[in-house]
């Protein structure tokens, strides 16, 4: 088994195929979208592949150490063009192929008109613990 | 209260219940109940036949559960037709449970989880922590695995090789959470060795002991990897090495060579060398030749190329490496090492950096990055 991170982006990813902004969807379409992701997580828990999932607020702040005795510097919210992560899900699958398959399934969440949005999801493997045997 | 005894008896007891016709999940519940009862009752007097005691209590629990559940009428009938608990051959039932938990219809991760639960007697929480997944997820993984093998019946013993591969997967997980999975794998392999007479079981046990013996020296206090050549050999566990070598020699004497025995032979040659310089690389290459004949695995060819580099010099190693698929993990790292030894630090530094980007574990990536940095920052580079 290997763990993978599925990243959803607010901005910075290539445009989804069904690229209607969420505030133009009907409330029912939004509910259907949210429900799809919940069902997806439930299903993964049943298959023993679910690890974690969280949503993030769109506001992010850049923070930097500013020297001894001074408060950290903050750079305010992200500029419009910057990449921004909307949320993540961590899965634990037997193969990379299975992880790709699941990411594809999550990308098919319904959007405007109930059509799958075909959004881009970033799939990143976790760096593992080193195996006991390496030599 | 002897927890080790209880855990070693668990698979045999569970195996007997399942053989008598109990559904796998119900049998496991009943065995867990019996274990709890033992923890409660045994301190004031351990029974003369602990296993027989557990079988009797577990079987009663199973019957009670079956009776109290009218929806399980059919299973109750089945159970009532079975003979009362009596003496049964213990090793067969343990062995049978190993085969069941490594059933080919299970994915490797399900087989691992089920083996740790049913054969190892670990709690679902312990297994979940060891694999860093939520307990609910692990519980589902295990119950799905139980359902998958629920109807499995064996006419004849399964494939020992399948069981050994599952145990080796457990071993390779090493240590996380509060369970040392490597030590658990060794325990389960020892137990399997008592139930089945097969030289590859001994080969795997020897291999695990030899690797385990060197584990304390493999990581520095800060968690970074220490390569074999730089390890403090004084920190190797000589007792485990001696035991591993003895088990291996007995297995090899039976002249039924297999993959694990050959791998253990390589590990034994490393463990035998008083210093890295005194390693018998020529013999190690010969064992890799045997391994290549047995498996024809690309990983074996990669390891062989590194050994050839030590035995016959870096040029020979690079020539051997040329036949290894460029996409294979760790190939770039091996080439970097051979290039450096061949007197080409610039290429080596570039390859080390590339290998670091490909690394699948943090400790390995840090180690390779340090190698690249060492070559890039030394005077005259």
Q: Is residue B249 a part of any domain in this protein? A: yes
Best mutation target among B132, B213, B357 (most A Cβ atoms within 10 Å) is: B132
Q: In total, how many domains does chain B have? A: 3
Q: Is residue B287 a part of any domain in this protein? A: no
Q: Is residue B324 a part of any domain in this protein? A: no
Q: Which of B55, B75, B91 is the last residue of a domain?
A: B91
Looking at the complex, does the CB of residue A3 fall below 8 Å from at least one CB of chain B? yes
Provide the pLDDT for residue A90. Answer: 96
The pLDDT tens digits for B117-174 are 999 989 899 999 999 899 999 999 999 999 998 877 665 667 899 999 999 999 988 7
Q: Is residue B147 a part of any domain in this protein? A: yes
Contact call for A45 and B113, based on CB within 8 A = no
Write out residues in chain B with pLDDT < 70, as ranges.
1, 69-91, 153-157, 176-177, 379-381
Q: Nearest by CB to B182, which of A52, A132, A135?
A: A132
B16: left (phi over 0), alpha (psi -120 to 50) or beta: alpha
Q: Is residue B5 a part of any domain in this protein? A: yes
Up-side HSE of residue B86: CA atoms within 13 Å toward CB?
Answer: 3
User: Same domain, yes or no, for B209 and B261?
Assistant: yes
Q: Are B257 and B290 in contact (CB under 8 A)?
A: yes
Provide the pLDDT for residue B1. Answer: 64
Task: Tell me how far apart the alpha carbons of residues B362 and B375 are, in angstroms, rounded to a whole number.
Answer: 20
Closest chain B CA to residue A44: B137
Q: Is residue B8 a part of any domain in this protein? A: yes
- Domain of residue B134 covers 94-176+185-190
User: Same domain, yes or no, for B145 and B71?
Assistant: no
Provide the pLDDT for residue B21. Answer: 82
Provide the pLDDT for residue B270. Answer: 96
Provide the pLDDT for residue B83. Answer: 47
Nearest one of A75, A43, A39 to A60, comparing CA atoms: A75
Q: Is residue B208 a part of any domain in this protein? A: yes
User: Same domain, yes or no, for B98 and B87?
Assistant: no
Provide the pLDDT for residue B74. Answer: 59
User: Same domain, yes or no, for B101 and B73?
Assistant: no
User: Same domain, yes or no, for B98 and B76?
Assistant: no
Q: Which of B58, B91, B124 is the last residue of a domain?
A: B91
Whole-prediction pTM value? 0.86
Q: Which of B279, B297, B328 is the last residue of a domain?
A: B279
Q: Is residue B222 a part of any domain in this protein? A: yes
Provide the pLDDT for residue B350. Answer: 97
User: Same domain, yes or no, for B201 and B263?
Assistant: yes
Contact call for A129 and B363, based on CB within 8 A = yes
User: Same domain, yes or no, for B61 and B4?
Assistant: yes
Contact call for B110 and A48, based on CB within 8 A = yes
């Amino acid at each position: 088994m290997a763990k993978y991170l599925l990243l959803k982006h607010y901005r910075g990813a290539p445009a989804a195929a069904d690229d209607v902004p969420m505030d133009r969807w009907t409330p029912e379409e939004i509910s259907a979208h949210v429900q799809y992701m919940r069902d997806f997580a439930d299903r993964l828990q049943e298959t023993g592949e679910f690890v974690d999932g969280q949503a993030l607020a769109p506001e992010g702040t850049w923070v930097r150490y500013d020297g001894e005795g001074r408060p950290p510097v903050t750079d305010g919210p992200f500029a419009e063009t910057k990449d921004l992560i909307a949320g993540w899900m961590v899965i634990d699958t037997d193969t990379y192929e299975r992880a790709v398959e699941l990411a594809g399934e999550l990308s098919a969440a319904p959007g405007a008109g109930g059509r799958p949005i075909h959004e881009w999801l970033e799939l990143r493997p976790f760096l593992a613990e080193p195996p006991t045997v390496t030599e | 209260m002897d927890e080790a005894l209880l855990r070693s008896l668990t698979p045999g007891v569970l195996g007997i219940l399942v053989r008598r016709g109990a559904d796998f999940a119900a049998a496991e519940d009943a065995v867990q109940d019996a274990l709890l009862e033992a923890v409660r009752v045994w301190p004031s007097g351990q029974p003369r036949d602990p296993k027989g005691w557990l079988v009797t209590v577990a079987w009663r629990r199973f019957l009670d559960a079956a009776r109290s559940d009218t929806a399980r009428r059919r299973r109750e009938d089945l159970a009532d037709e079975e003979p009362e608990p009596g003496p049964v051959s213990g090793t067969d039932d343990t062995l049978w449970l190993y085969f069941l938990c490594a059933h080919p219809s299970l994915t490797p991760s399900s087989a691992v989880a089920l083996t740790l639960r049913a054969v190892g007697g670990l709690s679902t929480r312990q297994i979940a922590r060891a694999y860093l997944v939520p307990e609910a997820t692990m519980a589902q993984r295990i119950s799905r695995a139980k359902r998958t093998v629920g109807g499995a019946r064996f006419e004849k013993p399964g494939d020992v090789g399948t069981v050994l591969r599952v145990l080796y997967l457990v071993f390779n997980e090493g240590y996380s959470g509060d369970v040392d999975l490597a030590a658990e794998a060794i325990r389960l392999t020892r137990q399997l060795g008592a139930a089945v007479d097969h030289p590859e079981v001994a080969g795997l046990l020897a291999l695990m002991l030899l690797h385990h013996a060197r584990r304390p020296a493999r990581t520095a206090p800060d968690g970074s990897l220490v390569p074999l050549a730089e390890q403090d050999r004084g920190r190797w566990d000589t007792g485990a090495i001696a035991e591993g070598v003895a088990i291996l020699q007995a297995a090899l004497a039976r002249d039924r060579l297999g993959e694990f025995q050959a791998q253990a032979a390589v590990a034994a040659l490393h463990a035998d060398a008083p210093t890295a310089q005194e390693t018998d690389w020529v013999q190690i290459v010969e064992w890799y030749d045997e391994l290549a004949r047995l498996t024809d695995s690309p990983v074996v060819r990669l390891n062989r190329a590194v050994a050839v580099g030590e035995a016959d010099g870096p040029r020979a190693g690079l020539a051997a490496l040329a036949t290894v698929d460029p996409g294979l993990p760790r190939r770039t790292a091996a080439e970097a090492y051979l290039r450096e030894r061949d007197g080409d630090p610039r290429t080596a530094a570039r390859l080390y950096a590339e290998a670091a980007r490909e690394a699948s574990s943090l400790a390995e990536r840090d180690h390779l990055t340090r190698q690249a940095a060492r070559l890039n920052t030394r005077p005259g580079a």
